[in-house]
Amino acid sequence: MQDPIREQLIASIGFELPENNWKIRLVDEIRYLLENDFHKLISTLYRMDVSEGKLRGLLQDNPDKDAAEIIAAIMLERAAKRHETKQAYGKKDTGNDTEERW
């Protein structure tokens, strides 16, 4: 069974997340990007449309917490929101293929 949030993240971040322990893998990958490829991390967050202000506030309010875990949590939250939006406004089957759709 596929996890739609995991699939949403894979599509956005550009690397595979294994079926088991994928959230741990996500945190590890974010930690790696923080240390080695900050530009790619920023680009990924931008593509996911993560709120810079919200992320900055969470990081400032929690200086003793692992930044990679905070970033992963906000990425998961954003991916879940995108999934909800796709479900709510996704393609609806009208049953009439000849009808013009907008």
Q: Cα–Cα distances in Å, from 60 out to 22, 27, 40?
A: 26, 19, 21
Whole-model pTM: value is 0.73
pLDDT (tens digit per residue) in 6-59? 777 777 776 677 677 788 888 888 999 999 999 999 999 998 899 999 999 999
Length reported for the chain: 102
What whole-number distance in Å separates Cα of residue 24 and Cα of residue 30? 10
Residue 2 confidence (pLDDT) above 70: no
What is the pLDDT confidence band of residue 1, given thresholds at 50, 70 and 90? Answer: very low
pLDDT (tens digit per residue) in 52-96? 999 999 999 999 999 999 999 998 888 888 877 877 887 655 555
